[in-house]
Structure 1
Amino acid sequence: MKLSVLDQSPIRKGSNAREALLETVALAQLTEELGYTRFWVSEHHNVTSLAGTTPEILIAHIAGQTQSIRVGSGGVMIPHYSALKIAENFRMLETLFPGRIDLGMGRAPGGDRVTASILNPTNTFSEQDLVQQLFDLQNYLNDRYAPGSVQAKVRAMPIPPSVPEQWMLSSSGHSGLLAAHFGMGFSFAHFINPHGGPEAMQQYRARFQPSENLEEPQTNVAFFVFCSNDPETVHRQQAMIDYRFLQYETRGKVDPFDYNDLKTVAYSPGEEARIQHNRQRMIMGNSEEVKKQLLRYADQYEVDELMLVNVGSEFEERLESYRLLAEVFELKTVAV
């Protein structure tokens, strides 16, 4: 089983964006050493509790601070940008770090619709526009242009020695069908939507069309995961993640907080119901418990790679979580 990381650069209470980004880099270095397969960073806008807004910039820095782990976006929200600009960003990254770059793409706002409209005032959230962007992106990344088209007059630069891996990221089956049509990898975000994932994977595999970049289906699935062999630490982190999700659902944002801010909070029956629903998006416990649940989901999804998202409130506890999972899954350590 391969393990990978999706990091959102969470800002702890009393910390700041710079410290959060430095922690992301340190986490990438540790997980490379522990034998994780890839390290993706997210794109969020107008979210005060997360520092990751521009994955292509952070990817460049992380790849320069590591040696072998694949580094990528989880993901670039493509409706915000032109296909040419995405292609040039990732061709530059692939030129600097050949064979190590993943272009993970999503269609969500990565925040709210108002922010999305300011990022790209022409964004109509149209399905047709999304398909056209993916089509144009394939042409730019693979240097194939229809004769006589406008795109044939423009070439995405620089020209790298290889093409970055391309993935569609989604919490629904529809984007999986797009990934299948364009011959890209498919990553299902169970940490966003705990329902329908195995079926979406089956549809993707059944409809997959080989491309010049990918001959066979390639999949992984992402979960919120926190692992500790101390029951009290697991309890505290569970309470904080429960609170985080409710804050986002009821207020539309999450300000940095710690356990003292919520340990006396009493929830309504409706909030308790939301907590139980949201716990389907996460896996928490000691190393053996987490391994057992992850392997069960791997069987359901029929995948051999699991993407772990950890928003634990203490950085050292996040590091320890990844260490414990590397040990229990017997990942092969890498000399760096």
Structure 2
Amino acid sequence: MDTKKIRLSVLDQSPIRKGATAEQAVKETIELAKYTEQLGYTRYWVSEHHNTGILAGSTPEVLIAYLASQTQRMRIGSGGIMMPNHSTLKVAENFRMLEALFPGRIDLGMGRAPGTDRITASVLNPSNQFREDDFVEQLTDLNNYFHDTYEPGTVQAKIRAIPQVKTVPDKWLLSSSGQSGLFAAHFGMGFSFAHFINPSGGPLNVKLYRERFQPSDDLAQPEVNVAIFVFCSEDEEKIKQHQAVMDHRFLQFEKGGPIVPLSYDDVKDEVYTPSDLERIRQNRYRVITGTPMEIKKKLTWLAEDYDVDEIMAVTITENFDDRLKSYELLAKQFEL
């Protein structure tokens, strides 16, 4: 694959670094969006997470509005809106308003997970039953709201998503499994596979999406990207320390303990059990780290494996300057 044809994008969860505040995390999201646009990145997605002390991104629709106002060309979107937490009409209205403000630049990336624990999810939406059929119904309703295509005479036809605008956001389904890929194919939406969550089965799920894709009014051909944790540095010691922190962070999450910001000093003397080491080995497939030349090779292999021309990099670092530098080095390697 010609690396010049690989597009790079950003998935930003607004991570809160150790010793930093949520306000700082949000300011860093704004600075990173501006910087990656200058570097030539294709799109910038912000996430929805709730009831966590390590990620500040809870309301992507609010962040998108500000980020789009601070940038000029890069597509800005959600990665993603967790649909079971929301009224479909309200999602449609939020993104119609964003389209009114920034026509042709907005991506609506959607997921079916709550982006939090079940208790918090039940508070966000007390009627959420976590049923697959409900998610499919939301996708159907969303299309009808965006295109005003409810059947005349039905109750739903009396409801319009306001403001009435001519353009619609690009719609993507985000998933770490194949089911949402099949939904994306059925509805004619883009598909983003979360390799950073599940490093297994992604290429097959992308292949099935392509094979079963049905063109829609919004998307004539299948469109796919893959999201993965990435860290690039010219300093081998920083790479080693970054991997050690990521190893521990994944275990922290899997064991269900307190999820808190970490530094290398917190984990450098950690002693792991054999089962921990096996989980670390498996989780390392979720991350690509290395020097610029190593990263170029690894990401190119990933793109070839998935048969995609766009990679979304998720980068979380102890030091914000290292985060900026990682995205800069990636951009240089892929000649954005």
Fold match by TM threshold 0.5:
yes
8 Å CA contact retained: 1:190, 1:197: yes
What is the SS of the residue equivalent to 1:133?
Answer: helix
Report the Cα distance in structure 2 between the residues aligned to 1:157 and 1:150, rounded to whole angstroms.
17
1:80 to 77, 85, 105: 85
Runs of 4+ in 1 over 6 A off after TM superposition: none
8 Å CA contact retained: 1:234, 1:285: yes
**Per-residue displacement from partner, 1:53-109 (whole Å, max 9, x unpaired)?**
000000011111111110000000000111101000000001101110000000111
User: How many pairs align?
Assistant: 331
Pairing 1:150–2:143 present: no
**Per-residue displacement from partner, 1:111-167 (whole Å, max 9, x unpaired)?**
111111110000001111111110000000111111222210000011223110000
1:121 to 119, 126, 145: 126
**Per-residue displacement from partner, 1:197-252 (whole Å, max 9, x unpaired)?**
01101110111111000001000000000000110010111111111111111135
2:227 to 222, 225, 234: 222
2:278 to 269, 273, 288: 273
2:145 to 115, 140, 143: 140
Paired position in structure 1 for 2:28: 23
Pairing 1:60–2:73 present: no
8 Å CA contact retained: 1:47, 1:253: no
8 Å CA contact retained: 1:48, 1:253: no
Give the TM-score, by structure 1 length: 0.97
8 Å CA contact retained: 1:98, 1:161: no
Per-residue deviation, 1:253: 4.3
Pairing 1:14–2:1 present: no
Write the letter of the residue equivalent to 1:226.
F
Report the Cα distance in structure 2 between the residues aligned to 1:159 and 1:6, rounded to whole angstroms.
29
Which sections of structure 2, spanning at least 5 residues, go unmatched? 1-5
Percent of aligned pairs with the same residue? Answer: 61
Pairing 1:288–2:288 present: no
Paired position in structure 1 for 2:175: 170
8 Å CA contact retained: 2:17, 2:317: no
Matches within 5 A, 1:158-307: 158-307=163-312
Report the Cα distance in structure 2 between the residues aligned to 1:39 and 1:253, rounded to whole angstroms.
29
Report the Cα distance in structure 2 between the residues aligned to 1:221 and 1:31, rounded to whole angstroms.
18
What is the SS of the residue equivalent to 2:289?
Answer: strand
8 Å CA contact retained: 2:174, 2:192: yes
Alpha-carbon RMSD: 0.8
8 Å CA contact retained: 1:183, 1:208: yes
Give the TM-score, by structure 2 length: 0.97
Report the Cα distance in structure 2 between the residues aligned to 1:35 and 1:228, rounded to whole angstroms.
19
Pairing 1:47–2:87 present: no
8 Å CA contact retained: 1:38, 1:72: yes
Paired position in structure 2 for 1:310: 315
Going from structure 1 to structure 2, the CA distance change for 1:57 and 1:252 (only over 3 Å counts) comes to: farther
Report the Cα distance in structure 2 between the residues aligned to 1:73 and 1:185, rounded to whole angstroms.
13
What is the SS of the residue equivalent to 1:288?
Answer: helix
2:115 to 104, 110, 113: 110
What is the SS of the residue equivalent to 1:251?
Answer: coil
**Per-residue displacement from partner, 1:249-283 (whole Å, max 9, x unpaired)?**
11354211211111111111111111110000110
